[in-house]
Amino acid sequence: MEFEALLYKFKTELDQIQNENSYIIKRTNKSIALCSEVLTALRKEIVMNGFKDINAEIKFFKRTKQIPLVPLIYNTEIRSFELQFPKANPSSQKKYIKKKINKINRFFIYNIDFNQYVKSGLSHFDKQYFTREYLGAIPISYSRHYFQDLEFSTARDMLLGKLMAYNQFIIYLKNRMDGERNFLRNDDFNLKWTSSKSALTELIYALYHSNAINNGNVDIKEVAKALEHIFHFDLGDLYKIFAELKSRKKSRTKFLDELSINLQHQMDKSEE
């Protein structure tokens, strides 16, 4: 049973998604959908045709299935992390990242024996770990999966996927931590927003809807967070302020209008 063409196409499409200059949640959603689609296709083939022998079954669950399973778990973890990531408080952000890293470290400690088995390239328990015959014989050691598909799971194929995905995810978290540290170093710039919250909100929405940042492939909360940090300013409820702007009876873009007028005035003045 060969899956080279399907998996080659999968890897190509996954690379294209990962290289997109788009919002991280959008990329993870597309990656998760693609991985799920390929796993469904693999399951259908396995249920219909089975395996020619035990070695083929072990190879499938230990190697082949991991190709879409690992990025599925990895992207799912990133999506969950980013959706729950604190948006404004740098201290809370660092604390949240450290908490995630500690949780993953506990996972590796809890599964240290199986992790060493995999890292050492051992195979003497492969029949027990990676054939469906032993799915009910070995207790599942992680709480998230109380039930597994009897026709498409083994005692340790999901755990193997988590180990491999978490090795990647912890690198992502460490890079995220370094990114937050570097971001915090911008405190060297003594810039303070001295206008109003509504003025900054006008600027944020104008930048966002003009596609001036990342060609529009950015979430408005990221734009707000960046400007809040650069200008050492706590904006508060961005959406509430924007709703108030829309309800203005006069100019709804008062600050932006003033920016344009002041700039044109300065240009005219410099030509005198």
DSSP string, 68-116: HHHHHHHHHHHHHHHHHS-SS-HHHHHHHHHHHHHHHHHHHHHTHHHHH
Asked if 77 and 211 sit in the same domain, the reply is: no
User: What range does the domain containing 223 cover?
Assistant: 197-270
Asked if 229 and 134 sit in the same domain, the reply is: no
Q: What is the pLDDT of residue 217?
A: 74
Distance CA 26, CA 17 (A): 9
Asked if 162 and 260 sit in the same domain, the reply is: no
Q: What is the pLDDT of residue 102?
A: 95
Asked if 154 and 202 sit in the same domain, the reply is: no
Q: What is the pLDDT of residue 190?
A: 74
Residues of the chain with pLDDT under 50: 143, 146, 183-187
Contacts of 80 by beta carbon, 8 Å cutoff, 6+ apart? none
Q: What is the pLDDT of residue 146?
A: 45
Asked if 134 and 210 sit in the same domain, the reply is: no
* Number of compact structural domains in the chain: 2
CA-to-CA separations, 43 to 35, 36, 46, in angstroms, rounded: 12, 10, 5
Q: What is the pLDDT of residue 42?
A: 96
CA-to-CA separations, 24 to 29, 118, 193, in angstroms, rounded: 9, 30, 28
Asked if 95 and 124 sit in the same domain, the reply is: yes
Asked if 52 and 87 sit in the same domain, the reply is: yes
Q: What is the pLDDT of residue 220?
A: 85
Q: What is the pLDDT of residue 67?
A: 95
pTM flag (> 0.85): no
**Final residue before a domain boundary, out of 162, 188, 214:** 188
